[in-house]
Structure 1
């Protein structure tokens, strides 16, 4: 079927192509001008149609043309919505697949962590360093809450500028043994 069409096409080109060569240049110019006018009309028609789709220049349209335009807009909108919905469903499916993969990886890591902890608790301390390592870990775990406690910043070290007469009587610089404290010497 295709070869038959090709043969007919070659026949037309051979028979009628020779006639086109013999045509005068004036006929070719007229054909080119008609083609130009047809393309120009088609271009203007497409621009007018685009303006109608955008809601512009609707005054000269009849009711049937407006209904036809409305149907075209509705069908285009349905197509856009279905395409967008399909895209979102594809993305959702991909995200669900990733979620399942991450949950599986998380489960594997949890199992490894539980296995590691069970092995470390059941392992006897055969090497000399192991008997101290568990003690050190316990000490570090007990020390950690203390390390992050809020420290009192009101601690006064050194000279206090408050009048010392108000805080201590001047006659009590000696302790009970009638000796001066070391800091007063």
Structure 2
């Protein structure tokens, strides 16, 4: 795991601290997967605060009105970022997790499909949205979240993730949407 972020000109000791706080668990949840475990970062209040602070610093002047957190670990980072930015937090969830009327976006997985859902009316036309998740791998969930938000007329400003598995080329599925990542892992 390297302590580089997607703004290569930015050097920050906080990124190194965040990278070193993330545990890698081989063969979880199945053989061949190198699971990036952020729970160890959450146990380190300094690294966790650094993560939130870096995102807030990046988006403070970007007029973000909505922080959309992708299930489930986007729910960890999204609310404190939204509060610091004075934005609302909107959860984007797997099917059948939200009560009330939802809109959904289906996306393809390696084997089969899945869906992401959001409450009807949670995001309004023209709102400026930051999508947050812990990790970008193949980009499927982020691509579905972008489509879902754009269907209601939102302006997706950027996707932000703590970790990127660059070898899986998830950015390629996001079209021209920018992605900001703190830690790159191969």
TM range (shorter): under 0.3
Structure having the larger proportion of residues in helix: 1
TM-score normalised over the length of structure 2? 0.15
Larger relative contact order (CA 8 Å, sep ≥ 6):
2
